[in-house]
């Protein structure tokens, strides 16, 4: 009787050793490298823009400085309203600034504003308006609310000073703001209630809406008379245009 011939079947290769498996691994590795590269660059540019080290796309087309200011037709109903921070000075000349408390360029301009307030006291009022860019600065809206809540108690500028003094804090929380409120001597109960109730958010959104009508593209943006200027201006820049306005108005 003939013995049946046995055929030895070689074991199947594992999927990653086959041609198509090797192709899938190579393709997946390339896709992973591309994704890592993309996200690394995304976070690099995001953090750079957030910290003011890299300009926003198109920002190079925004010319800053008083020499690049433009004469604009201003809708006076949009420039500022009674009760805005700074209007309490009742000065004959108004400089309106749209700010984001977390904007690095606003930080650079913050002390200039305070210095000029003293230099031109009684002649010029600096009117503060909000333009929080929450996509870049998540706590900007909260800080804007804190400023408005302090303004309700006639303490906007002390709160302004406190917020900018703590500019290096990664995040300024509600508890921090309540502490600032106590330090500047306002009713912390009323302030806390205002901050937690979104009482002033409508005022901030009105600022943003007016800013868009006025063509504000970034912060700080200034309206001085009929001049619109963008970016942090030097003290000399401000003095040139303020002195000219005061001279023409014979103030």
Helix H, strand E, coil C: the string for the chain is CCCCCCCCCCCCCCHHHCHHHHHHHHHHHHHHHHHHHHHHHHHHHHHHHHCCCCCCCCHHHCCCCHHHCEECCCCHHHHCCCCCCCHHHCCCEEEEEEECCCCHHHHHHHHHHHHHHHHCCCCEEEEEEECCCCCCCCCHHHHHHHHHHHHHCCCHHHHHHHHHHCCCCCCCCHHHHHHHHHHCCCCHHHHHHHHHCCCCHHHHHHHHHHHHHCCCCCCCEEEECCEEEECCCCHHHHHHHHHHHHHHCCC
Alpha carbons 132 and 143: distance in angstroms, whole number: 9
- CATH number of the domain residue 237 falls in: 3.40.30.10
Statement to judge: residues 45 and 105 lie in one domain? no
Statement to judge: residues 43 and 151 lie in one domain? no
The per-residue pLDDT string of the chain (251 residues; one tens digit each, 9 = 90 and over) reads 455 555 666 666 666 666 767 777 787 888 888 777 666 655 554 455 445 444 444 444 434 455 555 555 566 667 878 888 888 777 888 899 999 999 999 999 999 999 999 999 999 999 999 999 988 889 999 999 999 999 999 999 999 999 999 989 989 999 999 999 999 999 999 999 999 988 899 999 999 999 999 999 889 999 987 788 888 888 998 998 889 888 888 77
On whether residue 55 sits in a domain, the answer given is no
Q: Are 155 and 147 in contact (CB under 8 A)?
A: no
Statement to judge: residues 96 and 181 lie in one domain? yes
Q: Are 234 and 112 in contact (CB under 8 A)?
A: yes
Q: Which two tokens stand for residue 152?
A: 């309700």
Q: Total structural domains in the chain?
A: 2
Statement to judge: residues 83 and 190 lie in one domain? yes
Q: What is the reported pTM?
A: 0.71
Statement to judge: residues 44 and 68 lie in one domain? no
Statement to judge: residues 117 and 194 lie in one domain? yes
On whether residue 10 sits in a domain, the answer given is no
Look up the domain containing 33 and give its range. 15-50
Q: In angstroms, how far is CA 184 from the centroid of its own chain?
A: 24
Contacts made by residues 132-139, CB under 8 angstroms, sequence distance 24+: 132/100, 132/101, 132/102, 132/204, 132/208, 133/100, 133/102, 133/103, 133/218, 133/219, 136/49, 136/50, 136/102, 137/50, 137/100, 137/101, 137/102, 137/103, 138/171, 139/102, 139/171, 139/172, 139/173
Statement to judge: residues 188 and 238 lie in one domain? yes
């Amino acid at each position: 009787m003939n013995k049946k011939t046995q055929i030895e079947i070689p074991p199947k290769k594992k999927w990653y050793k086959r041609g198509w498996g090797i192709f899938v691994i190579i393709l997946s590795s390339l896709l992973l490298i591309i994704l890592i590269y993309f996200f690394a660059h995304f976070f690099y540019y995001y953090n750079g823009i957030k910290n003011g080290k890299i300009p926003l796309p198109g920002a190079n087309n925004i010319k800053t400085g008083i020499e690049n200011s433009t004469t604009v037709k201003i809708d006076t109903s949009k420039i500022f309203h009674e009760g805005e921070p700074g209007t309490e000075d009742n000065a004959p000349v108004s400089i309106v600034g749209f700010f984001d408390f977390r904007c690095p360029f606003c930080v650079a301009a913050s002390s200039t504003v305070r210095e000029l307030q003293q230099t031109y006291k009684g002649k010029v009022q600096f009117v503060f308006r909000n333009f929080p860019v929450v996509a870049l600065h998540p706590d900007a809206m909260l800080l804007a609310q804190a400023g408005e809540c302090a303004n309700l108690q006639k303490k906007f500028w002390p709160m302004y000073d406190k917020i900018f003094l703590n500019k290096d804090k990664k995040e300024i929380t509600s508890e921090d703001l309540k502490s600032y409120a106590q330090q500047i001597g306002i009713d912390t109960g009323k302030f806390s209630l205002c901050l937690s109730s979104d009482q002033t958010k409508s005022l901030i959104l009105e600022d943003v809406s007016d800013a868009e009508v006025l063509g504000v593209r970034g912060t700080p943006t200034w309206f001085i008379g009929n001049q619109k200027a963008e970016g942090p201006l030097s003290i000399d820049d401000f003095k040139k245009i303020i002195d000219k306005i005061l001279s023409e108005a014979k103030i």
